[in-house]
């Protein structure tokens, strides 16, 4: 009997440490046990992550939140970024920033940059829906390091972003009740730290499939203290994304797990979060129904009160778990 137990444990250990061979396939992944998984870059291309790879402390000390870049887009410059430099007031005065407009902030995830797919998709959606200041945060200096190094750098990146927003509004004007922070994957935890650094003043914070590996139970993860209203959209829960509720309102489209409609691999389901969000900003057609518990959400068996998923309405408020169904292709 002891031999059998040891054999089963040995097989489980080997499975947890086995290198997955099919790019994008995370069906092997067991939260808290698996060493390897596939994570998409900014264009959806899967890259193998090793959770035992050493953290590059030298890189963390050099490529930290001080390297953040802040790219402003408005209806006057929808495609060509104007760079606002933290601490340089002239960079604001020489831009199209207008204090009377809503401020939208978008933060990409791992192995990405300001030009990655999420940014033009969500930026164009925001500008189509309303006259806004949209700031894309480029934190590539750290995001393009190994996953554990980037993960360890997230709190600092978020704190620098929070300080930048305080400086921006104090210097050029603005209203915290018009500030909406949006982050994808690791970027969701960046905006969580930014919102807390700003004293929870942002009116709204949206986490798009907040990254799961090394983040479950992590005190630096996105939580309800990041803003006046915090929401999360879960599309690859239990694999690349956190599955358990972490926000005021947590949405579980199609059960919140892989595979999402039209997806065959986990990396696609993870990225689907920002595609659904961009569509919701343009059309606001995703109606969630409140769930009594997490099992109802996972099985998409929710029939309670309604709250729309996503959208760009700054005054949106709500709480609870919500389930809904979407299509498999744009606009879903």
Q: Are the C-beta atoms of 314 and 102 separated by less than 8 Å?
A: yes
Instruction: Encode pLDDT of 201-254 as tens digits.
Output: 999 999 999 999 999 999 999 999 999 999 999 999 999 999 999 999 999 999
The token pair that represents 29 in the structure block: 């992944």
Determine the pLDDT at residue 293: 98
**Quick check: is 209 catalytic?**
yes
Determine the pLDDT at residue 165: 98
**Quick check: is 236 catalytic?**
no
**Quick check: is 10 catalytic?**
no
In the chain, the percentage of residues whose pLDDT exceeds 70 is 95
**Exposure b/e, 113-147, CB count within 10 A at least 16 = b:** bbebbbbbbbbbbbbebeebbbbbbbbbbbbbbbb
Set 112, 145, 185, 266: catalytic member = 185
Residue 49 has pLDDT above 50, yes or no: yes
Determine the pLDDT at residue 18: 87
Integer Cα distance of 183 and 192 in angstroms: 8
In the chain, the percentage of residues whose pLDDT exceeds 90 is 93
In the predicted model, what is the mean pLDDT of residues 95-104?
Answer: 98
Set 209, 236, 248, 250: catalytic member = 209
Residue 7 has pLDDT above 70, yes or no: no
Angle 308-188-49 from CA coordinates, rounded to 5°: 125
In the predicted model, what is the mean pLDDT of residues 61-80?
Answer: 96
Instruction: Encode pLDDT of 165-186 as tens digits.
Output: 999 999 999 999 999 999 999 9
Set 248, 269, 270, 280: catalytic member = 270
Determine the pLDDT at residue 10: 35
pTM (2 d.p.): 0.94
Residue 332 has pLDDT above 70, yes or no: yes
For residue 312, cis peptide bond before it (omega within 30 degrees of 0): no
DSSP state at residue 54 = P
In the predicted model, what is the mean pLDDT of residues 3-10?
Answer: 33
* Local structure of 272: helix, strand or coil: helix
Tell me the average pLDDT of the chain.
94
Determine the pLDDT at residue 15: 52
Torsion of CA 158, 164, 167, 169, to 10 degrees: -90
In the predicted model, what is the mean pLDDT of residues 130-156?
Answer: 97
* Domains of the chain, each with CATH number or no CATH: 59-324 (3.40.50.1820)
Residue 2 has pLDDT above 70, yes or no: no
Determine the pLDDT at residue 16: 62
């Amino acid at each position: 009997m002891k031999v059998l137990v040891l054999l089963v444990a040995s097989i489980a250990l080997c499975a947890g440490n086995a290198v997955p061979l099919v790019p994008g396939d995370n069906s092997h992944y067991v939260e808290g046990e698996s060493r390897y998984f596939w994570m998409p870059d900014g264009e959806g291309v899967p890259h193998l992550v090793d959770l035992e790879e050493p953290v590059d402390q030298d890189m963390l000390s050099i490529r930290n939140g001080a390297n953040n870049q802040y790219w402003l887009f408005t209806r006057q410059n929808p495609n060509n970024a104007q760079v606002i430099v933290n601490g340089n007031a002239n960079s604001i005065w020489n831009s199209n920033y207008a204090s009377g407009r809503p401020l939208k902030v978008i933060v990409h995830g791992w192995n990405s940059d300001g030009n990655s797919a999420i940014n033009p998709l969500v930026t164009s959606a925001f500008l189509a829906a309303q006259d806004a200041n949209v700031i894309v945060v480029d934190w590539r200096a750290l995001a393009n390091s190994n996953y554990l190094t980037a993960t360890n750098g997230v709190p600092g990146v978020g704190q620098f972003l929070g300080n930048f927003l305080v400086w921006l509004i104090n210097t050029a004007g603005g209203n915290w009740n018009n500030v909406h922070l949006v982050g994808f994957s690791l970027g969701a935890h960046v905006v969580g730290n930014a919102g807390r650094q700003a004293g929870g003043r942002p009116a709204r914070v949206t986490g798009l499939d907040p990254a799961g590996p090394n983040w479950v139970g992590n005190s630096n993860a996105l939580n309800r203290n990041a803003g006046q209203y915090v929401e999360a959209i879960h599309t690859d829960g239990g694999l690349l994304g956190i599955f358990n509720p972490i926000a005021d309102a947590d949405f579980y489209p199609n059960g919140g797990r892989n595979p999402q409609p039209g997806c065959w691999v986990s990396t696609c389901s993870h990225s689907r979060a920002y595609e659904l969000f961009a569509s919701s900003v343009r059309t606001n057609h995703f109606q969630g129904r409140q769930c009594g518990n997490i099992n109802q959400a996972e099985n998409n068996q929710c029939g309670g009160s309604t709250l729309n998923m996503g959208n760009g309405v700054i005054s949106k408020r709500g709480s609870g778990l919500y389930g809904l169904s979407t299509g498999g292709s744009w606009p879903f």
